[in-house]
Amino acid sequence: MVQLFKGFSSKRKPETLQEIERDKVPKHIAVIMDGNGRWARRRGLPRIAGHHAGMKTVKKITMAADELGVEILTLYAFSTENWKRPKDEVDYLMKLPQEFLSLELKELVEKNVRVRMTGWKEGLPDHTLSAVEEAERATSGNTGLILNFALNYGSRKEMIEGMQLMYKDIAAGRLDPDSITENVYDSYLKTSGLPDPDLMIRTSGELRISNFMLWQLAYTELWFTSLYWPEFSKEDFHQAIREYQQRIRRYGGL
C-alpha cells in the first residue's frame, strides 16, 4: 500500500522501540479507537466480536504507553452519540468496562496505573458505573500512567455544559466575566486537570474528530491509520510516536 500523505499511515513499518527518543515521548496521547465493527465484518463475525477483540488492544496499548513513560493515555471508548446504536450493541459496550477491569485491574494496580474517566457518569448503567468507580478507587493512590477512559463523552456537550456552569458562577457572583481566560474555561470542562493531548491517534481510516476534545485538540498533532483498532499493534503505536517526534510544533509561531 502507499503512503497517502504525511500523517496518514496505511503501511506498517517495522519501527522499533529503540528508535523512540525517550526524552520526547508525548505526555498525553489520546486515541479514537475506531473500526471494531468493520474488523469483525471483514471476518464474518458480529460487530460485538470486534469490540471484544478491541479490548485486547486496549491492554496492549496501555502497557506500551506505560513502558514508554507516557503520562496520560486517553482512550475514546463511547461517545455521547454512540447511544444511537442498536440496543444490543450499546448493552454489550456497556459491559466491556466491567469485563476489561475484572481481567486487568489487578495488573493495573501493580503497575501503578491510575484509572480515570472523562465523561458523564449520569446515564451509565449501574454495573458499568460501579466497575469504573471501583477501578478509580483501587488506583486512586497510584502515581504512574493515567489511563483515562473517555466514556459517555462528547465535546460539544462538554463545552455547552462548561458554559452553563460558568454562567451560573457569574450569576452567583463567584466569577468575574473579565477574569475568564483559557485556563479558567479549561477548569469548567470534563478534562479539567489534564493537559491537552500532544498526539491524537485515530484508527480505521476515518479522517475526522467525531466530537472528541474539539477545544483540547487545538494544537495537538494528529495521526491517522487505516488499520482497524483490533489489529492496531504496539509497533504501530511506536510508529505514531516516532512520526510525532519528527513533527515541528509551531503553535502559530515560526
Instruction: For residue 215, say whether it is annotated as part of any ligand binding site.
Output: no
User: 36 a known binding residue?
Assistant: yes
- CB distance 47 to 96 below 8 Å: no
Catalytic residue among 34, 148, 198, 236: 34
Residue 233 binding partner per list Mg ion, ligand IPE, none, with a CB distance cut-off of 5 to 8 Å that depends on partner kind: none
What's 22's DSSP letter? G
CA count, 13 A, side-chain hemisphere, 203: 26
Closest approach of Cβ 33 to Mg ion, in Å?
9
User: Which of ligand IPE, Mg ion, none sits in contact with 210, Cβ below 5 to 8 A by type?
Assistant: ligand IPE
Q: Is the dihedral of CA 53, 130, 165, 190 positive or negative?
A: negative
Q: Does 142 participate in catalysis according to the annotation?
A: no
* Among the listed residues 213, 210, 208, 167, the one whose alpha carbon sits nearest the alpha carbon of residue 190: 213
Q: Is 212 in the site for Mg ion (CB under 5 A)?
A: no
Could you say which of ligand IPE, Mg ion, none residue 149 binds, taking C-beta under 5 to 8 angstroms by partner kind?
none
- Is 210 assigned a ligand-binding role in the annotation? yes
Count of residues making up the chain: 254
The answer to whether residue 34 is catalytic is: yes
Q: Which does 33 bind (CB under 5 to 8 A by kind): ligand IPE, Mg ion, none?
A: ligand IPE
Q: Where are the beta strands (DSSP E) in the chain?
A: 8-9, 28-32, 72-79, 114-118, 146-153, 199-202, 221-225
Give the position of cell 483515562: 148
What's the rounded Cα separation, in Å, for the pair 101 and 201?
A: 23
Percentages (nearest 5) of helix, strand, coil residues in the chain: 45, 15, 40
Catalytic residue among 66, 82, 196, 211: 82
In angstroms, give the least distance from the CB of 41 to ligand IPE: 7
Distance CA 30, CA 196 (A): 9
Q: Does 198 bind Mg ion (CB under 5 A)?
A: no
Quick one: which of 25, 31, 34, 223 contacts Mg ion (CB under 5 A)?
A: 34
Q: Which of these ranges, 12-20, 27-35, 47-55, 188-196, lies near Mg ion under the rule CB under 5 A?
A: 27-35
Residues involved in catalysis: 34, 82
Residues that bind Mg ion (CB under 5 A): 34
Annotated binding site for Mg(2+): 34, 221
Annotated binding site for substrate: 35-39, 47, 51, 79-81, 83, 85, 202, 208-210
